[in-house]
A and B are shown apart, each in its own frame.
Chain A
Amino acid sequence: SQTIHQWPATLVQPVGSPLSLECTVEGTSNPNLYWYRQAAGRGLQLLFYSVGIGQISSEVPQNLSASRPQDRQFILSSKKLLLSDSGFYLCAWSSRTGGYNSPLHFGNGTRLTVT
């Protein structure tokens, strides 16, 4: 069966420090991968998605970047965190074969607090 791992679960970082959040998927090949952010009391905002190694699409301009160095690995990074980067970050994958009918499968999230 497919599983998705996301870490760390919680993170407290000072303003101006770098960030690296990692997400890996097991049990499937060539997944679509996604990073979402959920700000406190708000819905989910799609940050990045990827359809293949090295292929990253950014949905909103921001202080963050994403990379996909391997087929089932997706990394969210920042060189210098801002207070506004605080939130709950969710990695997700979907199968390419089902098209629009394929649901997203989410990791358990990383709660990031920038102080």
Chain B
Amino acid sequence: GNSVTQMEGPVTLSEEAFLTINCTYTATGYPSLFWYVQYPGEGLQLLLKATKADDKGSNKGFEATYRKETTSFHLEKGSVQVSDSAVYFCALSGGGAQKLVFGQGTRLTINP
């Protein structure tokens, strides 16, 4: 079945550091890929998405490229801020009714 594997957290960085959160997937067909962010005590918000191979999703300085050859969708940001502290989830679409399969989440903490 479909699955998503994210790098284990937690991840702690200093402000303005470069961020990479790895995500790899296993899926049949051609899924769409997503990154969601969850701020403390809240639900998940869509951060970015990519719907086909080589697409790059971007939002709020974050980027991720859909790499079919390596089945990856790594999240990157060139210079993180304290306000980026949150839990980040990689997900793929699969099955009917747009059921998303999520990774286990990566907690990111940015220190000033």
Contacts and interface: CB of A to CB of B under 8 A. Distances in A.
Contact of A90 (B31, B34, B43): B43
A105 B97 contact: no
B49 A101 contact: yes
Given A42-B104, A100-B31, A103-B49, A32 B98 contact: yes
Contacts of A6: 43
B93 interface: yes
A105 B46 contact: yes
Given A42-B104, A43-B104, A43-B105, A107 B49 contact: no
Given A43-B104, A92-B44, A101-B51, 5 more contacts: A34-B99, A100-B93, A104-B98, A108-B41, A108-B43
Interface of B: 31-32, 34, 36, 41-46, 49, 51, 89, 93-94, 96-105
